[in-house]
Structures are given as structure tokens and as C-alpha cells.
Structure 1
Amino acid sequence: MTEQQRAEEGPGPEPGETGRPEVTEETVEALVRSQLAKALGGKRGMVEAAVPTLTFTVSYIIASDLRLSIVLGVVAAVLLGVLRLVQRSSVQYVVTSLFGIGIAAVFAMRSGNAADAFLPGIIYNAVYAVVLGLSVLVRWPAIGLMIGPFIGHREDFTSWRENPAVVSLASKLTWLLVLPCVIRVAVQYPLWAAATYGEADTFAALGLSKVAMGWPLQVAAFAAMVWVLARGRTPLAERPADRD
């Protein structure tokens, strides 16, 4: 199309006049996507979360020494942390992993049952699923609480609840966070019970399921959330300061 033809046709429609508006920094979807990207931590964060658990599981399968396996798992997390410090990057995900394996060690050492190292994770996921599910049922979805300070009035972070579209979007996204937790409990609890009560030797399957259902399952949930966000165009409420 030539410049003359463009001039004759006049200016095109403004964004939002035809169809749905583009997702920009002024939409709820774009804001939530940016928050999820920060929470994910990238491929390296996923590896750092999996390595200590994988080290613990494999070493116990090989040596059947609970204390040694715990030590090796902790050492793996510490080495990852030292590498982060040397590179002057964030140790957030390493610290989280180290904290997790520390709690697992307490459970396993107290009972002497290696499978109990996975019990804290099962309990955590069960509680997490219940809390998130209740937050949706009472119309205070957890995702809404996360983005609340960035939406609506600065002096009232609960103002996002005045927009039914935002509450509906936050509820859908929160359910997508609940789903991985429910799947983990549904798969891992029977494996833990079988190993604990001597019904079957499911320790290896339990350890591998924890790794496979860790970040990979979380990434799948985040991918589903991104898909939901890509389909929506919920504008951010105008703030008082923006109208000045």
C-alpha cells in the first residue's frame, strides 16, 4: 500500500476499537505473566531444585545408608550454592532446596525410614492445595492477593476484588496452581505408604516421582497459566495517581 493510499483511507482503528486490545503492561494478564516468570527461576532453578533430591535417592538406592544419603544430598545443595556465590548470582533457589532437604532429613532420621524423607513434601502439597482451594472458594484467590498491590488503588490493595473479571481470572489461575499439588499427593502418598508399611519396595519410584513431579509439573502448570493469560485481555484499573 502506498503512502497516498494510506492517506486517502485515513488513520486505522485505535487499539481496542476492533477486536480485543493487545496485551501490554496495562493488562492484568501481562502483569501476572511477569510475576510468574520471576517465580519460575528458569532452567537453572529447576535443576538446582532437583539435584539434591536426585542425589539422595540414587545414593540410598546404591548404598542403603540413610545418613550417607542425606549428607550427600546436603553436600550437593551446598556445592550448588557455592557455585552461585562464586558467580555472584542469586542463591534463592539453592537455599530453598537446602531448606527442603534439611526438613526431609529431620523426618527420615527421626523415624529411621528413608521414605519419610518425602513425607514433608507430601504434607506440604496437601496443605498447599487445601489453602489455595479455600482461597478460591471464599472469593479471595491467592493469585489475586499476589497481584493485588499492583492493581487498582494504591492505598487499597483489595480493590481488585471490585472487578469480577479480575476475580474470575485470578480464580482460574489459582486452580491451575492447585492441580499439580493434588497430582503429587495422589501419586506420591500411595508410594510412601507402600514403602513405609512394607507392602512394596517403592522407594526408587517415590524418589523419581518427586523429581519428575517437581519443576516439570510446575512448568506444565505455568504453561497452562500462560495459555489462559494469552487468551485474556483484562485491563488494569486506573489508579488515582494516573488520573492526575
Structure 2
Amino acid sequence: MRGESLADLLGGRRGAIDATLPPVAFAAGWLIGGESLWAGVGAALVVGAAVAGVRLRRGDRPRSVLIGLLAVCVAALVAVRTGRAENFFLIQLLSNAASALAWAVSIVVRWPLLGVVVGTALGQRGRWRRDPALLRGYGRASWVWTATYVLRVAVFVPLYLGGQVLALVVARVALTWPLVAAALAVSWVVLRRSLPAGHPGLRHPVPPDAATEAPDAPSGTPAHEPEPGQAPGPG
């Protein structure tokens, strides 16, 4: 899989950038309106709707777009109902705490979420779990993503408790697309290094029985022949 990475497969950076725009709009409206909660919420909803429209035009899945817009609407509703600007970020804080727990549990039960996400993107369903090397690699790489959620919670909680609205926006931006880009890169390195030499890559899970039969392959025929134009090696 030379030249292909998790960023290519998942496209996480673009979605992460989109996710930062409504919170930034909320802070801008809140400040321009003299710390008016309604101004901030209105700006966030307008920008959220605009982002949803752009995502639909570029071909994103409607369900994903709807979830993103719904998250903005729920955050706005919580802020309005409680009358506290910092509560616009409460849903984000809670979702990161839940995500950290979900990713950690998925690793423990040997269904690492990175494998689930990548396997779904590649149309493999659960075939990747039958490859011990991939299962181990996805488990190790999933800890990288678990750490990102733990880091966000550790930063968000004291800012939220202190009512630091602008600091929450800065943290949201800094810990969204830059952190996602870093997680994509680091987890890709961890995953590649977890695969043994000669493994055909993420697109080609190797079940245990295939690994057992490999030594019996005819002389001169590799156990896992790469696709045309694909260099052998860990992927």
C-alpha cells in the first residue's frame, strides 16, 4: 500500500476542519453581540447549515452531514436552555469522554475501533479480525486515538468548569483538526510497524490458515503476491 495512508482512506482532516467552524462562529457572534448568547447561537447555526450544504455538494453522505448539523443544533439548544455560553461545548466534552471509554473498551474486547472504521471503509466487514497481525496492529494504533480523546477531556474540563468560553474555542480548534492530523499520522506509523515483513497490507487480510500454508507454496511463488503496481511490504 505504498503511497496510501489512513488519511487517504478516512479523510479525517477535512471533516475535522468542518467541525471547528460552528464553534468559531459561536465565539465570534458571542463577542460581536456583546456576549449575547443568542448572537452566538445564531451565528453557529447559520455557519453549521452552510457547512452542511457544502458537505452535501461535495458528496458527503447525507447521514453524516445530518449528524454533524444535529450536533450543532443540540449544542445551541443546551446553551440557550441553560443560559450559559460555556454549555455550547458541553456536548463536545461529554462525547469525547464517551469516545475515550468506547475506544478503550473496544481494544480490550479485541474489536479495536480503528479496525472497525478502516474495515468498513474498505468493505471488509469483519475479515480483518481473522488476520492476527492486523488485529494486533489495529489494537495498538487504536490506543493513539484513545489518547486523543483523553487529552481533549483533560483540557476541556477545567476550562468548562471555569467558564472560559474563548479558551474553549481555542482548545476546540487546536485539539480538533491538528490533533486529528497528528493521530492519523502516528496511528499509521504504529499500524505499519506492527505488521510483519511481507504482509500484503490493510486491503489484504491474511487468515491464520493462509499463513500456515505459505511455506508449502511452490518454489519461486510468493505466498502473498502484490497487486500489479503495488510494492510488497507492510501496508
> Would you say the 8 A contact 2:93–2:153 is kept in 1?
yes
Q: If the length of structure 2 is used for normalisation, what is the TM-score?
A: 0.72
Q: Distance in 2 between matches of 1:123 and 1:72?
A: 23
Aligned to 1:199: none
> Would you say the 8 A contact 1:56–1:72 is kept in 2?
yes
Higher gyration radius (CA): 1
Deviations 1:36-85 (A, max 9, x none): 53432554x44322211101012213321111211111111223344456
> Would you say the 8 A contact 1:133–1:175 is kept in 2?
yes
Name the aligned partner's letter for residue 50 of structure 1.
T
Q: If the length of structure 1 is used for normalisation, what is the TM-score?
A: 0.70
- Does structure 1 residue 89 correspond to structure 2 residue 58? yes
Residue pairs, 1:117-196, within 5 angstroms: 117-148=88-119, 157-158=125-126, 160-195=128-163
Which of 167, 171, 194 in structure 2 is aligned with 1:209?
Answer: 171
Name the aligned partner's letter for residue 39 of structure 1.
L
Deviations 1:89-145 (A, max 9, x none): 225575444222111112111211110110111100001110110111122212233
Aligned to 1:225: 187
Same amino acid, percent of matched pairs: 29
Q: Distance in 2 between matches of 1:146 and 1:91?
A: 16
The runs of at least 4 consecutive aligned structure 1 residues that moved more than 6 Å come to none
CA spacing shift, 1:24–1:218, aligned 2, 3 Å: closer
Q: Distance in 1 between matches of 2:44 and 2:118?
A: 35
Q: Distance in 1 between matches of 2:132 and 2:53?
A: 47
SS class of match (1:173):
helix
Give the RMSD, CA atoms, in angstroms: 3.1
Aligned to 2:22: 52
Aligned to 2:72: 101
Gap runs ≥5 in structure 2? 211-223, 225-235
> Would you say the 8 A contact 2:12–2:181 is kept in 1?
no
The Cα shift of 1:226 comes to 2.1
* Count of aligned residue pairs for this structure pair: 200
Gap runs ≥5 in structure 1? 1-22, 196-201
